[in-house]
Amino acid sequence: MGLLDEGLLDGRRKLEHGTSSCPMRPLPSIAFFCAVLLWIVAACWFFLSYDENEALPDGLDAGVWTFELLEDASKGDYGYSAPARAWHDGVSFNVRVLYDAADRLMAHECFSAYAVFDSFSESSRFRLAQRGLVADARVKGGLERVPSGMLAPLIGLRTWASGLFDGAQTGGAALMRALLTGDRVDIERDGLYDDMKAVGLAHMVAVSGSHLSVVASMAGFLMRRARVPRRLCAVVLCVFYAAYAVFTGLSAPVIRAAIMSAVVVSAVWARRRASALAALSVCVCVLIGLNPHNAVSLSFFLSAASTFGVIVFAPLFTCWAVRMTGGRCAGACEAFALTFAACFAIMPATVAVFSRFSCIAPVANMLAAPVFTLLLGWGLVALPVCALVPALGSAGLNAANAIAQLFCFGAKAAAHLPYSSVPVTGSLPVAGLLTAAAVVVLWVWWPSPSGKAMRVCCAGVVALAGVALAFAPMAANDEVVMLDVGQGDAILVKSQGASLLVDTGNQEQKLLSALARNKTASLDAVAVTHHDDDHCGCLELLAPTVRGSVLLSRETFSCGCDDCEELVEMAQRTVGPNRVRGMRCGDVVQVGRFTCKTIWPLSFEEEGGNADSLCFVVEYDAQGDGEVESSVLLTGDAEAPQIRAMMDEAGLKEVDVLKAGHHGSKAGVDEGFSQRVGSKAALISAGANNRYGHPSEEALEEFALGGMEVFRTDEQGDVTCRFAGDEIVISTQR
């Protein structure tokens, strides 16, 4: 850390009482204010000029175009996609190219193909416009590779290096591939990326400013131990950044991260943090001037903000840490301060993006930094050895993969700790304002508390958080909430501090945001109705949130089909084999004043498919006297014949609220269905503009015929049924 900031020398001076002196506040330069102003102007320009109904630019006509990928292609349900520069007859545009071919292309590979251009879908238009893209280019027919010019040797080298990890089906190999080559193709393997997000290490599986700042800190520490001159250290690190950026594909985020990190270590030339801040400001001005869309780019913000945090606040945080520990563990204090400073400036944004707050992120970053440095250094040495002596180099990479796999196991264990992360919701604009406010307050205040005050403050924060987590749920209302998770199901039952989630949907951020909106940081149990992805796709994401069991239909364990076996394995990975419970008809889950009774299936008819959905009748006993005041029927993807049968088998004459079967499909109702169910309200969980046409006109007409009031997540967001006595008050998010 001392390599990065001459100002830290002040932080190492010991006073009479054994505590470090507080470093001086860096003074902002004119360049800093120019950078802030330019950033604001460019962001305002984007928002004022953005037109969601804007037509395709002139010149984007169907024909044979040449494309250069700006980032590695990612595989989706319908082929590959990547941002690319497209040119034809002297005109060029930045587009998202979509193609269906056997080969995955890497950053800066080129090809020509016949393409047609379309406007972006409504759901992705704003996000892609922020990246400076103007249209979708859909490739028709085959691709013809085009030479990549001067970058061809680099692309070939990178492709070769990435290919060394093919066939190694482990999370450790996926992590090493991402670290060494920037290729994140396998990063989702075995839930690795989810684990990294849960412990606050998501930025470390991509080339980012905070990642390279941590590497710089550790590498600088080693070079200081070897008594390498400080200025030579800075040169070595800048060369390392440049080489690493080239080797990892020269994508825009990689280039920005390398430049930002090089600015930090270059501060040694001026021996002042204010100069480093001015250099960073000039860098921001240049990058926004070259591409104004950087002003609304999340990756650009993360690179700039984490570097700013390191330059400005790492010395102050080091001073605090040293004081709090009484001058002990100075090296650990520096490492912790660096990672905390990098996280401090980007935490609100990462919380808004990932919809969760990692309670262990600073500690996890501090512990992970030396491991990542070791793996990165080891891998960069092993790669040339692989080229010269393949057997020896492969052995070295295999050893690195094994160490990385141990790290992955550790990350998974940390991610499964209770409250390692909690759902939090927020918007990026609000996050940006919070970040700016926190930075301004801390910069102006620049507090210098005593070690005792720091310890008391930290203890108070931990105590308040513990009290909030323990007692806040107790104050919640008795509710059944249909969460808006897109095209999927997720029903939350809450009462007297207890909670049950029935199904998870398959869109992570939507689920976490919905849980956060409904102030649910932990779950007593999760029930999965059946194995369809839109009902269980986010189950493993909830590992740190589930305090109790995962509930499945008992028939799932003996079905023997691949889908049921995969669901059981997923549940076991989430909470462990001993906490996966089979439910049969008549089994009960008590959630405060709610009794959730299993009433379906009697046996499997479709190998755990829609007709075999695990269904509950949720009965509300307001007084605890055994008298049921209200009821809700949760049907999963069961359809009309099964719903009729389960009500008959359970002896239910009617229910007050129906969760419509199969997202309101036409198979979920039949003639006279509404009269049989007798509900006052029907809840339909469906995604906006979904490709299945849910809910169907037939279902809506049947519900209207029965006098049911219909509530839909695609139009109204979360739907909350609040129970009080014998009344049910239904409200919607929008």
What residues form DSSP beta bridges with 112? 66, 144
Q: Tell me what percent of the residues of the chain surpass a pLDDT of 90.
A: 26
Tell me what the pLDDT averaged over the chain comes to.
83
Per-residue pLDDT at 273: 55
> Is the separation of the CB atoms in 505 and 479 below 8 Å?
no
* 10 pLDDT higher than 50: no
Residues 644-651: what's their mean pLDDT? Answer: 89
What residues form DSSP beta bridges with 617? 597, 633
* 201 pLDDT higher than 50: yes
- The 10 Å CB-count burial string (b at 16+, else e) for 398-417 is eebbebbbebbebbbebbbe
Is the sign of the CA dihedral 343, 344, 350, 356 positive or negative? Answer: positive
- At 551, which helix (H) or strand (E)? strand 546-553
Using pLDDT thresholds of 50, 70 and 90, give the confidence band for residue 469.
Answer: low
Q: Which residues contact 452 (CB under 8 A, 6 or more apart)?
A: none
- Helices (H) and strands (E) in the chain — how many of each? 26, 23
> Is the separation of the CB atoms in 527 and 583 below 8 Å?
yes
Per-residue pLDDT at 267: 57
More confident residue, 712 or 522: 712
Q: What is the rounded CA–CA span in Å between residue 33 and residue 36?
A: 5
More confident residue, 200 or 488: 488
Per-residue pLDDT at 194: 81
Using pLDDT thresholds of 50, 70 and 90, give the confidence band for residue 422.
Answer: confident
- The string of pLDDT tens digits covering residues 655-689 is 999 999 899 899 888 888 888 888 899 999 998 88
Instruction: Outline where 586-659 has alpha helix (H).
Output: 640-650
- The string of pLDDT tens digits covering residues 160-169 is 988 898 888 8
Residues 12-25: what's their mean pLDDT? Answer: 54
Nearest to 143 by CA among 88, 94, 101: 101
Per-residue pLDDT at 168: 80
Is the sign of the CA dihedral 406, 410, 415, 416 positive or negative? Answer: positive
Q: Which residues contact 410 (CB under 8 A, 6 or more apart)?
A: none
* 407 pLDDT higher than 80: yes
Per-residue pLDDT at 490: 94
Per-residue pLDDT at 266: 65
Instruction: Outline where 424-532 has alpha helix (H).
Output: 428-445, 451-471, 508-517
* 612 pLDDT higher than 70: yes
Worst-scoring range by mean pLDDT, 98-107, 110-119, 397-406? 98-107
Nearest to 311 by CA among 348, 351, 260, 269: 260
pTM score, two decimals? 0.75
* 209 pLDDT higher than 60: no
* 483 pLDDT higher than 90: yes
Residues 435-459: what's their mean pLDDT? Answer: 83
Worst-scoring range by mean pLDDT, 104-108, 380-384, 467-471, 485-489? 467-471
Burial class (CB in 10 A: 0-12, 13-18, 19+), 705: middle
Q: Nearest 10 degrees: CA dihedral of 136, 138, 143, 144?
A: -50
Worst-scoring range by mean pLDDT, 263-272, 293-302, 316-325, 617-626? 263-272
> Is the separation of the CB atoms in 248 and 273 below 8 Å?
no
Report residue 111: phi and psi, to 5°: -155, 160
Per-residue pLDDT at 17: 40
Each as own residue / partner, the long-range contacts of residues 46-49 (CB below 8 Å, 24 or more positions apart, any chain) are: 46/129, 46/130, 46/292, 46/293, 46/295, 46/296, 47/296
Q: Which residues contact 677 (CB under 8 A, 6 or more apart)?
A: 633, 643, 647, 654, 655, 658, 706
Per-residue pLDDT at 572: 92
Measured CA to CA in angstroms, residue 540 lies from 204, 270, 507 at distances of 21, 49, 12
- The string of pLDDT tens digits covering residues 557-574 is 989 899 999 999 999 988
- The string of pLDDT tens digits covering residues 234-248 is 787 777 777 677 677
In Å, the largest CA–CA distance within the chain is: 87
Q: What is the rounded CA–CA span in Å between residue 545 and residue 522?
A: 5
Residues 462-474: what's their mean pLDDT? Answer: 70
Q: What is the rounded CA–CA span in Å between residue 546 and residue 503?
A: 13
* 66 pLDDT higher than 90: yes
Per-residue pLDDT at 217: 62
Using pLDDT thresholds of 50, 70 and 90, give the confidence band for residue 38.
Answer: very high
Residue 473 gets which letter from DSSP?
G
